[in-house]
Amino acid sequence: MALIERDSSELLQQKQRTVTVEISDMTFGRLGVGRVGGKAVMVPFTAPGDLVEVELIREHKSYLEGRPLKVLRSSPSRRTAPCRFFPRCGGCDWQHITYDAQVALKARLVARTLSHALGLEIDPDEVLEPAPREFGYRSRVRLKVDKGGQIGFYEAASHRLVPVDECLVALPRIEIESARKLVHALGCGAREIVLAADAKRLVATIYLQGDLGIREIEQAARFVEHNFGISGVILRDARRREVIGEAKIVVEIEDGLALEIDGDCFSQVNHELNRRLVALAMEMGHVGQGVQLLDLYCGAGNFSFAAAKRGAMVLGVDNDPVAVQCAERNLQRLQLGNIRFVATNAEQALSFLARAGYRPDVVVLDPPRAGAGPLMAEVVKLRASRVLYVSCNLPTLARDLVQLRGLGFKVERIRGLDFFPNTHHVELLVSAVLT
Ligand SMILES: C[S@@+](CC[C@H](N)C(=O)[O-])C[C@H]1O[C@@H](n2cnc3c(N)ncnc32)[C@H](O)[C@@H]1O
C-alpha cells in the first residue's frame, strides 16, 4: 500500500487527485465501486448510480481508495439515512440505500460470489428473502463503554467511540438509556455492555475492565430491584460470571417451541427471520424421524431442538460452556430424550467422533464468521450424506464450499435471508449432498 502522493501512478503524474466517479456496484462491505483511469476505485457511503466527486487517497495494486467529497448526481436508490448517527457509527453501512435496492444489491453479491466460486448458475431474483422489517429487528447489541462511562459503537474500522442514545435497528425494548443508568450505577468499570431483549425483557451483560467484586454485585442487584427497565444483569470479568435477576431471553424458534437463552449466550439476532431459518434448515436437511444429526456449533440448540422435535437423534457441540448449560436447561424443561449436548471444540469433537465410528446422516455447520475452514476435511470423514452450512459471512462460506465440493459434495440448494437490514451482512443456508 502506498500513499498516492508518493506514488508514480498516472493519476498522480497528472496531479489529478480529485476525480469524478460513477459508482456502478458495491463491495461486500461499506464501499461503492466505480472506475477511474482503468482501475477500480472504492468509495465509502456511496450507492450504485451515484456520480461522485472523489479525492483519491491511496493506491493499491489492483484498486484505488477514494474519499467522497460531493454527490454530483444522486442514485435513485440513495436516501437520507434515517439514523442521526449514520455514517459515523460503524454499526450500519448501507442505511443510505433504499431497502429495496439493498435487497437487490445483496442478492446480486450473493449470486455472483457463489456462482463464481462454485461454477453454478444462481438467479439473484430467487436467492434472497427480504426481511419483514428493516428497522427495530435486532434482539442483541454490543456497545462499547469508554473510560468516562459514555456508551456507543465504534466508528467503522476504528476504535473511536461514537456515543449513541438509541439504535434504530435494535428492538424498541433495547433502551440504551437504561444501559447508561446501569453503567453509572456500577460506578463505571465496564468496558462493554451487551443488551439482549425479547418481547418482555431486557437483559444487560457487563464485561468489566477489572475484577468482579462484591461491590459490583450489590450495585447490580440494587439496580435490578429498582426496575429501571432491565430485568437481569450478568456481570463478567476474565474469570467469573455472576447472574443477577431474570437474565434469560425467550426465543421462539417455531410455534410451540421456545428456548430460554442467557443474555450473554449466542442467539440469532433476528428472531422473526430465525423462525424462517430454522424451518428452512429442517426442510433442506430433510430432517425427520430417526435421522442422525450432528449440530456442530450448536449454541443453545437453535437447530438441535427443532430437529429433535421432528424425531431426529441429535448431538449438539459447542465450545461455549454457557451455551451448553442453556441447551441442557432447555432440554430438561422440554423433556426431549433424543438430544445430547457436549461442551467442547468442534476440532476435538470431530476427531473423537470419527475415531468412535459415529456416522450422522446430516451435519449442520453454523460456525462463527471465520468459517469452518480446515475442519471441512474432518467433517467429511464422518461420511454424512448431507451437510447443511449456515453462515453469516459470504466470503468464508464461498471458501469452505469450494473445499466441500473438492471433497466430493455437490451444492444442492442455496437460500439467503436478509437477517441484517441496513448493513451489508446476510444469513445464508446451503445444503450439499455427497455424490
Ligand atoms: C454463529 S453461532 C451459531 C449458534 C447456533 N447454531 C444458533 O443458531 O444459535 C456460532 C457458535 O459457535 C460456537 N463456537 C465458536 N468456535 C467454536 C469452536 N471452535 N468449536 C465449537 N463451537 C464453537 C460459539 O460459541 C457459537 O455458539
Atom from ligand 1 closest to the CA of residue 277: 8
| DSSP calls for 216-261 | HHHHHHHHHHTTSS--EEEEE-SS-EEEEE--EEEEEEETTEEEEE
pLDDT confidence of residue 11: 59
Cis omega (within 30 of 0) on the bond before 87?
yes
- Decide if 2-73 and 140-248 have a common fold: yes
Q: Torsion angle of alpha carbons 262, 268, 269, 270, nearest 10°?
A: -130
Torsional class of 143: left (φ above 0), alpha (ψ -120 to 50), beta (otherwise): beta
Q: How far is the CA of 297 from the centre of ligand 1 (A)?
A: 4
pLDDT, residue 311, reads 97
Judge if the beta carbon of residue 268 lies within 6 A of ligand 1: yes
Q: Which residue has the cell 450478568?
A: 234
Q: Cα–Cα distance between 357 and 275 in angstroms, integer?
A: 33
- Among 261, 275, 319, 426, the mutation site with the greatest number of ligand 1 atoms within 8 A of its Cβ is 319
- Asked whether 323 lines ligand 1 (CB < 6 A), one says yes
User: CA dist 249 to 171, 195, 199, 330, Å?
Assistant: 13, 11, 9, 12
pLDDT, residue 397, reads 98
Fold of the 140-248 domain: OB fold (Dihydrolipoamide Acetyltransferase, E2P) (2.40.50)
Whether the pLDDT of residue 2 is over 50: the answer is no
Listed residue (98, 29, 25, 44) closest to 393, CA to CA: 29
CA–CA separation, 132 and 29 (whole Å) = 22
268-325: pLDDT as tens digits = 999 999 999 999 999 999 999 999 999 999 999 999 999 999 999 999 999 999 999 9
Residues 6+ positions from 337 with CB-CB distance below 8 Å: none
Helix (H) or strand (E) holding 271: helix 271-284
Sequence-distant (6+) residues with CB within 8 A of 74 are 49, 50
Sequence-separated (6 or more) residues with CB below 8 Å from residue 243: 232, 233, 234, 262
pLDDT, tens digit, for every residue of 171-189? Answer: 999 999 999 999 999 886 8
What mean pLDDT value characterizes the chain? 94
Q: Is the CB of 266 under 6 A from ligand 1?
A: yes
Measured N-to-C along each axis, helices 302-309 and 321-334 cross at an angle, to the nearest 10 degrees, of: 30
* The dihedral sign for the CA sequence 278, 283, 286, 290: positive
Nearest Cα neighbor of 29 from 137, 158, 157, 167 is: 157
Half-sphere exposure (Cβ direction) of 206: Cα atoms closer than 13 Å: 34
Band of residue 383 on the pLDDT scale cut at 50, 70, 90: very high
The per-residue pLDDT for 228 is 78
Between CA 231 and CA 233 the distance in angstroms is: 7
CATH class held by domain 270-434: alpha beta
* 72, 78 contact by CB (below 8 A): no
Residue 361 has pLDDT above 90, yes or no: yes
For ligand 1, atom 12, name the residue with the nearest CA. 297
Burial group, residue 94, by CB count within 10 angstroms (0-12, 13-18, 19+)? buried
- From the CA of 369, give the closest atom in ligand 1: 1
Residue minimizing CA distance to atom 27 of ligand 1: 299
Of 198, 203, 189, 192, nearest in space to 152 by CA: 192
* 241-245 β-sheet, strand order: 161-163, 151-154, 140-145, 190-197, 202-208, 232-236, 241-245
Mean pLDDT of 397-424: 98
Q: Is 15 exposed, middle or buried (0-12, 13-18, 19+ CB in 10 A)?
A: exposed
Q: Show me where the domains of the chain are located.
A: 2-73, 140-248, 270-434
CA of 321 to the centre of ligand 1 (A): 11
Q: Which residues are catalytic?
A: 392
Report the pLDDT value the prediction gives residue 12, as an integer from 0 to 100: 52
366 lines ligand 1 (CB under 6 A): yes
Q: What is the Cα–Cα distance from 124 to 388, expressed in whole angstroms?
A: 21
Query: Which grid cell is 408?
Result: 466430493
pLDDT in tens, 58-92: 999 999 999 999 999 999 999 999 999 999 999 99
Q: Is the Cβ atom of 318 under 6 angstroms away from ligand 1?
A: yes
Read off the C-alpha cell for 145. Answer: 463503554
CA neighbor of 71 nearest in space, from 37, 45, 90, 89: 45
Q: Does domain 2-73 have CATH number 3.40.640.10?
A: no
User: What is the C-alpha to C-alpha distance for residues 210 and 188, in angstroms, rounded to an integer?
Assistant: 10
